[in-house]
Structure 1
């Protein structure tokens, strides 16, 4: 396979609540803290001459030291005191422009049980096995479930098996 000229390092999500995000992705799902600092940032949508805003940036990593990182940024200025957006209805259909965080975990059933106790988590379904056809005529099995985290991000957590 030819090497692509681009690597996808990470995605950084703007969050209203940092601690629930860390409780899920770091404490329950086991991602490791790579970076956790207060920074000054230019906020997309602000006028070009606007002063930079203080923010907390946390970057979590999984098993690769270079790619697949997940960042969370929480603004610490006056906009951070605005009320949190209303929770997304569990049955609301995803729309263009929205995304799904697809993650693999060693034990989705244990993760599911732990997520039940996190305030603001909306579990969309219980863990279940889905079968997909493979190119060789066999079947590929994935056990997983989906949830909305307290910041409204849709997550598909799965565990692969044969």
Structure 2
């Protein structure tokens, strides 16, 4: 009899744990995975720049900025028949560089080896109009990175490092900003974060 009562009491206790007052269901607490912020399933893996002279480009992005080469191969792209009216195999060299991650934030340098007159033309000056891009690199050593980048072949300095403030609800985000143009006309911003009140 005692064994039966114990079993009945146990069943009643289990039922009480599963239901609230007057038989209402009790909602289980969410797990950490359920309360974690949703992650966007899209990654921006790489930006690829079309360049005229691979070695000059590497002097800036690899040697001066310190990116590391992850891939360097010669390719053919016969499907690019509209590339300035080029025909044939469209031989090219593709170099992929990384900063601190080998999956996101990669930089591609792509040079077509069978160059046309348009490939060899001097690039337009940076004019910040639609169709142009600005590459932004954050450096923790801007005092040494900027002079090295400015000295790379064909690089033009637009602005020396200077303080810039970006407003936010928590207060101004303070950044040291410099601007360059590489030898192919791509605008490059090198900056260093000074303070960000959102991170306090």
Question: What residue is the counterpart of 2:153 in the other structure?
Answer: 119
RMSD of aligned Cα (Å):
2.4
2:62 counterpart of 1:26: yes
- Structure 1 runs (4+) deviating above 6 angstroms are none
Indicate how the Cα distance of structure 1 residues 64 and 116 shifts in structure 2: closer, same or farther if over 3 A, else same. closer
Choose from 136, 139, 160 the match for 1:105: 139
Question: What residue is the counterpart of 1:77 in the other structure?
Answer: 114
Structure 1 residue ranges without an equivalent (≥5): none
Indicate how the Cα distance of structure 1 residues 116 and 39 shifts in structure 2: closer, same or farther if over 3 A, else same. same
Query: How far apart are the structure 2 equivalents of 1:44 and 1:10?
Result: 24
Structure number having the greater helix percentage: 2
SS at match of 1:77: coil
Structure 2 residue ranges without an equivalent (≥5): 1-36, 196-200
Q: Which has the higher contact order (CA 8 A, sep 6+)?
A: 1
CA contact (8 A) 2:65 2:148 kept: no
TM-score, structure 2 normalization: 0.71
2:44 counterpart of 1:8: yes
2:159 counterpart of 1:134: no
SS at match of 1:124: strand
